[in-house]
Chain A
Amino acid sequence: MAALCRVRHRWKRTNCIQLLTRNLTGTFDYDLVVIGGGSGGLACSKEAAQLGQKVAVLDYVEPSVKGTKWGIGGTCVNVGCIPKKLMHQAALLGTALKDAQKYGWQIPGPISHDWSTMAEAVQNHVRSLNWGHRVQLQDKEVKYLNVKGSLLDEHTVKGSTRTGKEIMLTAKNIVIATGGRPKYPTHIPGAVEHGITSDDIFWLKESPGKTLVVGASYVALECAGFLTGIGLETTVMVRSIPLRGFDQQMAGLVTDYMEAYGTKFSWRSVPKSVDKLSSGVLQVTWTDEQTGKDQRDTFDSVLWAVGRAPETKTLGLEKVGVKLNKESGKILVAADESTSVPNIYAFGDIGEGRPELTPTAIKAGKLLARRLAGQTNELMNYDNVATTVFTPLEYGCVGLSEEEAESRHGKDSIEVYHAFYKPLEFTVAERDASQCYIKVVCKRGGDQRILGLHFTGPNAGEVTQGFAMGFQCGATLTHLKETVGIHPTCAEELTKVNVSKRSGLDATVTGC
């Protein structure tokens, strides 16, 4: 028996010996090991450490097909929210420069955009965030390991370095927060060899040039949006509908605006193949589903934005018994983020049915850390989460889409108030505001509880955030009408909404 104990530090050991040593010593290397150093993983590990737990976080970035890789922080920091919003801002500034002349600014000569300047500035900011996280982890005494984690058993994690070295860690609890990566349409010849994804676009040193964005998700539309905004010829190829899962009327307004502002859309189109010509440009062949005919065009870059796949393949989940959703491949989780294995938890993008958002991952991670440290029983509330799509015309929303409200409550039981408004700033700039719109979906009768709130317009994220709090508090149409607007703003139009769709009356806002 004693001899078996001494064998503890041999890395190749049988389960039997592991069980024996754990029972005898009763301790693990760590209280918590978090696999994944993104929005969720970092929030969870830092919170746990602050509560006195011994924590390790494992983060590893498998390079993209094109070889792009990045530091700690996950998708949001490196290839998502942050670089996206900065490039969106770059594009908005281009539009603002055009408007500026109407406001009296004397701008000599034509305005042009330099990709490299923008990319370097964005990449530098991202690197400063990577560094900030490293300093924070060190400061909060979270052990950070740049290794690819996988599960050996319910208390043992194996970490593999880039050079193939392996280390073992044992933990009382394990949290999986490995997120997802963009999907490649591998069945399309040339797609993998010649195309890029959102993993690559923000790290390109040179302009992507004339770009084809395939997909109609917010990733596709946001990328196409800022590419158009900085002056690149951009086409979006959509198979069926834009922004699936979002309110479709609002999605239509978003794409209408993009079309009016120069983004080309190839509707009902399915790519067939991508070939690289001798000149270096990419020739894309696609089928126009309406005519059944094949079309062809050339692009400098092809960006696939056709969905994201969860990072579960190399985690060793099957062996350990962590159950996945067969269709999505995501980890099945309960309300407390637990998986089918008692001490293994999963949250963030990797969790089945969870929103793929940073703020929910962060909050869920912190609450999970607090529950594991025995500090609270509070569960994450995934309801009433507000979001914004940062397309050239931004779209912010909280609550149900009109379709969802109809389906849940019945068309007769809901009242939809709406208004087309014009941002004051658009007037002098002589800008078209046809798609600036507000929609408040309420329960019909009684206090008219607000079921969903939708806004397209400038700074939609800033506008929606405040209303999201009202929504969380159970705001009704009466509350909204009792709120005095701030003038002159776009947001105030929400407090003034009074024309219902049912009335059939003109919903255009007129004057003060």
Chain B
Amino acid sequence: MSHYEEVKVHGYDEFCKAVSERKGNDIFAYFSGDIDTQGLSWCPDCVKAEPIVRGEMSHLPEGSVFFYCQVGERPYWKDPNNEFKKTLKLSGVPTLIRYGTPQKLVEEECFKADLVRMMFTED
């Protein structure tokens, strides 16, 4: 029984809806390129970062929510006007954010376990 809740969402609308349902919680979100049937993403950095991020999840604060959000297929992501880029201001995948704060780790920063742990444990 983990001390946090993991929520898997796909796409911008689903992400926003799920977040709005959990206002008041400490929310973390990991954005990744879509996963195929083999469980691999088209985004090689996302494939590399995921086990590292998952490895630090035991450090998530009590009662927090962890969103695993698949952003879409490669062409959707490459479009500079996609909602994640335009509204959430994401610049790349993978991105790990603490929702509602300026705390974020982008691309290679997600490869560093100590940075991930720092985000999960920071006040």
Contacts and interface: CB of A to CB of B under 8 A. Distances in A.
Interface of A: 124-125, 127-128, 130-131, 134-135, 138-139
Interface centre among B104, B105, B109, B118 (most CB of A within 10 A): B118
A131 to B, nearest CB: 5
Interface string B79-119: 00000000000000000000001111100010010110010
User: Chain B at the A interface: mostly helix, strand, loop or mixed?
Assistant: mixed
Contact of A138 (B101, B103, B104, B114): B114
Interface of B: 101-105, 109, 112, 114-115, 118, 122
Contacts of B102: 124-125, 127-128, 130-131
A134 B118 contact: yes
A138 B102 CA distance: 17
Contacts of A125: 102
Contacts of A127: 101-102
Contacts of A124: 102
Nearest to A128: B102
B115 A135 contact: yes
B101 A135 contact: no
A139 B101 CA distance: 20
A125 B105 CA distance: 16
Contacts of B112: 138-139
Nearest to A125: B102
10 contacts: A127-B101, A128-B102, A130-B102, A131-B103, A131-B104, A135-B105, A135-B109, A135-B115, A135-B118, A138-B114
Contacts of B118: 134-135, 138
Contacts of B109: 135
B121 to A, nearest CB: 11
Interface centre among A124, A128, A138 (most CB of B within 10 A): A138
A131 B105 CA distance: 10
Given A131-B102, A138-B115, 5 more contacts: A128-B102, A131-B104, A135-B105, A135-B109, A139-B112
B29 to A, nearest CB: 16
Nearest to B114: A138
A124 B102 CA distance: 7
B100 to A, nearest CB: 10
B51 to A, nearest CB: 20
A127 B103 CA distance: 8
A134 B101 contact: no
A134 B122 contact: yes
A127 B104 CA distance: 11
Nearest to A137: B118
Contacts of B103: 131
A340 B46 CA distance: 53
Nearest to B100: A124
A131 B103 CA distance: 6
A134 B101 CA distance: 14
Contacts of B104: 131
